[in-house]
């Protein structure tokens, strides 16, 4: 028994009694209060619960149904929560009708550059500013980011433009300083299965943008989300950013089929990063449009005022003028599928 559905008439006393019973069996209860029903996700090794114990639960006051689910990701599953999860970040709702665009440079290089880009993407219609202060690079000799100085610049950009901040965490030891400055904590592709890091961000109260691993299956990706959610943080946003295949024409293979698949399997918001997905600036716009058509709740797009001089991922970055043009085109695609940018 992995999910317990309560009757509409169930009282708070009924709920407390059920939770206490689960805890006496060494299990934890994750409570989701919907508009019509309260659903309890049972966390722990439920295989040890016998049929007799399960039947005893069924007769408890307030319980309508007890279900076992086959999916190993329980909290992230639509079986646990039928309604789409929406996440409120400084009054910007991710997972609703509006498609939010998170834009900015791959790395925060200096204050002047970041402020300039933040102003331009805001004017073009972006909802969030992104930028890396701690950079996971393939080479140890590449630019690794400005650290806390970069975070301070991001916070200043938010103050100036009103755009909430999205930035990546790489090390659990940095969580305190990153939470001080950011609005959404990003887990990069290389850290999707860094389980210690997932548990750490699962204990915080900031939304987590979880990127798909380089070669991760959708099941593995959702299990990573489960790690975060199992610690109490239900504010998870899934980000498709391309996977590693045999194809070399693009940086990665952007798996847009993942968007409708996830919409069936999970209630969590899904965003797409076409910049990392293709790795070439001239392919970003068509893939961004396709992402919106596929049902994405948001986009991550890298923007740089001078990509030729960028210290990270210049090849896949749009210039502000190109980004502005794309935003106008995306409005038409969004309207065609009943959404808005």
Single pTM value for the model: 0.85
Share of the chain above pLDDT 70, in %: 97
Quick one: pLDDT at residue 136? 67
| Residue range(s) occupied by CATH 3.20.20.70 in the chain | 87-336
CA pair distance 227, 198, nearest whole angstrom? 6
**Secondary structure letter of residue 58 according to DSSP:** H
Q: Say if residues 189 and 165 touch (Cβ distance below 8 Å).
A: no
CA pair distance 296, 289, nearest whole angstrom? 10
> 34-75: per-residue pLDDT in tens?
777 898 988 887 777 777 888 888 889 999 988 877 678 889
State which fold the 87-336 domain adopts: TIM Barrel (3.20.20)
- Assign domain 3-67 one CATH number from 3.10.580.10, 3.40.1130.10, 3.90.1150.10, 3.30.70.1140: 3.30.70.1140
Q: Which sign, positive or negative, has the C-alpha torsion 270, 107, 321, 317?
A: negative
Q: Strands 165-169 and 92-94: what pairing? A: unpaired
Task: Compute mean pLDDT per 10 residues along the chain, 341 residues long, and list them.
Answer: 86 92 88 85 80 85 85 87 94 97 95 96 98 77 79 97 96 93 97 96 96 97 96 96 96 97 97 97 98 98 93 91 98 97 93
Smallest CA-to-CA distance from 258 within 272, 244, 278, 279 is with 272
Could you count the other beta carbons within 10 Å of the beta carbon of residue 276?
A: 23
Could you count the other beta carbons within 10 Å of the beta carbon of residue 79?
A: 20
| Residue range(s) occupied by CATH 3.30.70.1140 in the chain | 3-67
């Amino acid at each position: 028994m992995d999910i317990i559905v309560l009757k509409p008439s169930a009282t708070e006393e009924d709920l407390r009694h059920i939770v206490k019973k689960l805890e006496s069996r060494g299990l934890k209860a994750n409570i989701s209060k919907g508009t019509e029903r309260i659903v309890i996700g049972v966390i722990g090794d439920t295989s040890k619960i016998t049929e007799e114990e399960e039947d005893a639960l069924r007769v408890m006051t307030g319980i309508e149904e007890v279900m076992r689910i086959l999916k190993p990701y329980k909290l992230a599953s639509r079986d646990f929560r039928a309604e789409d999860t929406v996440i409120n970040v400084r009054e910007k709702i991710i997972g609703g009708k509006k498609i939010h665009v998170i834009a900015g440079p791959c790395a925060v290089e200096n204050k002047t550059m970041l402020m300039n880009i933040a102003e331009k993407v805001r004017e073009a219609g972006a909802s969030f500013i992104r930028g890396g202060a701690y950079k996971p690079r393939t080479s140890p000799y590449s630019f690794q980011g400005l650290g806390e100085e970069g975070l301070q610049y991001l916070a200043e950009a938010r103050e100036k433009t009103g755009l909430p901040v999205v930035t990546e965490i790489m090390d659990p030891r940095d969580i305190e300083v990153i939470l001080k400055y950011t609005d959404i904590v990003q887990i990069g592709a290389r850290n999707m299965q860094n389980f210690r890091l997932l548990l750490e961000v699962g204990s915080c109260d900031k939304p987590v943008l979880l990127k798909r691993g380089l070669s991760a299956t959708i099941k593995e990706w959702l299990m990573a989300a489960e790690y975060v959610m199992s610690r109490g943080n239900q504010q998870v946003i899934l980000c498709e950013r391309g996977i590693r295949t045999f194809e070399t024409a693009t940086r990665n293979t952007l798996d847009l089929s993942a968007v409708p698949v996830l919409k069936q399997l999970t209630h969590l918001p899904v965003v797409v990063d076409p910049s990392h997905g293709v790795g070439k600036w001239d392919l970003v716009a068509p893939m961004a449009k396709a992402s919106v058509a596929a049902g994405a709740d948001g986009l991550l797009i890298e923007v740089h005022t001078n990509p030729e001089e960028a210290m990270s991922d210049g090849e896949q970055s749009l210039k502000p003028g190109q980004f502005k043009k794309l935003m106008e085109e995306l409005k038409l695609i969004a309207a065609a599928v009943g959404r808005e940018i």
